[in-house]
Amino acid sequence: MSFFVSNAVAATDSPSQSSPYSLAIILLIFGLIFYFMILRPQQKRAKAHKKLMNSISKGDEILTTGGLVGRVTKVTSPDYISIALNETNEVVIKRDFVAAILPKGTIKAL
């Protein structure tokens, strides 16, 4: 019966030693993964959104994060813009809430 069961091996007195740098290497690898998977893409999106906000000018058709579609009538300050939703309604919003600049003629197609 001892043929199927191996004999127990006695534990040695000293535990196995690993490299003192192994923890630092593992933390460095996790840091690089965190940077390339989370931080870098977020920075790219923020840079693209800032470029989008700075390119808004009078006459552009925009979509807001709230779902409003309108045409920019005036840029009142560096932070605010006025958009016309139709011929009678005009609202003032912050530039931060612009989700996209739509192609010309989108409002008429809706």
CATH number assigned to the domain comprising residue 96: 2.30.30
Residue 42 shares a structural domain with residue 64:
no
Residue 69 shares a structural domain with residue 103:
yes
Residue 60, CB-side half-sphere exposure with 13 Å CA sphere: 20
Q: What is the pLDDT of residue 22?
A: 87
Q: Which residues pair with 63 in a beta bridge?
A: 69, 100
pLDDT in tens, 3-56: 565 555 555 555 566 777 888 999 999 999 999 999 999 999 999 999 988 889
Residue 46 shares a structural domain with residue 61:
no
Residue 62 shares a structural domain with residue 101:
yes
Q: 3-state class of 80 per DSSP?
A: strand
Q: 3-state class of 60 per DSSP?
A: coil
Residue 31 lies in a domain: yes
- Which structural domain, as residue segments, surrounds residue 40? 20-54
Q: For residue 2, what pLDDT band results from cuts at 50, 70 and 90?
A: low
Find, among 99, 74, 73, 76, the residue nearest to 86 by Cα.
73
Residue 11 lies in a domain: no
Write out the two tokens for 28. 């460095």
| pLDDT over threshold 60, residue 77 | yes
Domain count within the chain: 2
| pTM of the predicted model as reported, rounded to 2 decimal places | 0.66
Chain mean pLDDT for the chain: 86
